[in-house]
């Protein structure tokens, strides 16, 4: 069980911790979209549903993070962990803007698409992260035994704030990603005149919901490239799959 929570060097007061047991992997934990609730109207997932083997609901995890609390998950995690984390979604009555949030700790492995379209907060993982992961890069961890991940968009919008990148380099307003991982939603919701350059192939929804900036992929891209683009430029130096804008 994790003994140290939060950023050691942070001047913030100690955050409230919500601890979750995961005897088996559950999808869409800390998912701010609730698996795209607006598409299925609660048939696949609803914020009021209890998380299996726990007293908490899916919605309570999200609200806890919105209130700057941290979440620790003891065990392995399924797909789409922390999807759109840090977005105050208009569908649920929010502003549509990014908001500060707490952090997520996983004392186990994480399945694919962790942090897709994520814009704020950190994810700490003790085990293995299965690819493709989301809009994330690794930074040097401040908790022993855990990898630490941060949103690409967050780094562009708010700077490194003392973080040290792993396999990447930030030079002015240009982020160079050469970490050898496959990612989804690179540059999601980017709203800054900056450039993201990734060497390697990517999967789903590169540049989704961008408003400013440039995302360049030196490789191939998957489905939905440039989905819901509302400004900015997406450049793919290779092939793209179905439903490219």
pLDDT digit string (tens) for 146-164? 999 999 999 999 999 999 9
Tell me the pLDDT band of 10, cut-offs 50, 70 and 90.
low
Residue ranges of alpha helices (H) inside 77-119 are none
Q: What is the pLDDT, as a whole number, of residue 11?
A: 57
Q: CB neighbours (10 Å) of residue 133?
A: 26
| Predicted confidence (pLDDT) per residue in 36-74, tens digit | 999 999 999 999 999 999 999 999 999 999 999 999 999
> Cα separation of 149 and 134, whole Å?
10
> Cα separation of 167 and 24, whole Å?
31
Tell me the pLDDT band of 116, cut-offs 50, 70 and 90.
very high
User: In the sheet that 174-177 helps form, which strands lie side by side, from edge to edge?
Assistant: 168-171, 174-177, 195-199, 214-218, 233-236
Q: CB neighbours (10 Å) of residue 80?
A: 26
Question: Could you tell me which of 85, 162, 179, 126 has the C-alpha nearest to residue 1?
Answer: 126
Q: What is the pTM assigned to this prediction?
A: 0.94
């Amino acid at each position: 069980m994790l003994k140290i929570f939060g950023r050691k060097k942070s001047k913030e007061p100690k955050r409230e911790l919500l601890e979750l047991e995961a005897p088996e992997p559950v999808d869409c934990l800390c998912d701010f979209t609730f698996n795209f609730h607006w598409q299925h109207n609660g048939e696949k997932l609803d914020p009021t549903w209890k998380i299996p083997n726990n007293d908490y609901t899916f919605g309570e995890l999200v609200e806890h993070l919105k209130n700057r609390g941290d979440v620790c998950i003891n065990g392995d995690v399924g797909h789409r962990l922390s999807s759109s984390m840090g977005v105050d979604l208009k569908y649920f009555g929010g502003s549509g803007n990014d908001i500060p949030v707490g952090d997520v700790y996983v004392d186990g492995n994480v399945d694919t698409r962790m942090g897709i379209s994520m814009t704020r907060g950190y994810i700490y993982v003790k085990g293995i992260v299965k690819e493709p992961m989301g809009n994330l890069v690794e930074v040097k961890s401040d908790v022993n035994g855990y990898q630490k991940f941060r949103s690409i968009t967050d780094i562009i919008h708010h700077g490194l704030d003392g973080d040290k990148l792993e396999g990447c380099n930030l030079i002015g307003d240009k982020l160079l990603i050469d970490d050898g991982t496959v990612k989804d939603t690179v540059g999601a919701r980017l709203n800054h005149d900056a450039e993201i350059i990734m060497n390697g192939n990517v999967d789903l929804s590169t540049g989704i919901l961008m408003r400013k900036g440039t995302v360049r992929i030196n490789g191939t891209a998957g489905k939905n490239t440039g989905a819901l683009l509302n400004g900015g430029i997406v450049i793919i130096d290779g092939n793209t799959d179905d439903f490219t804008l």
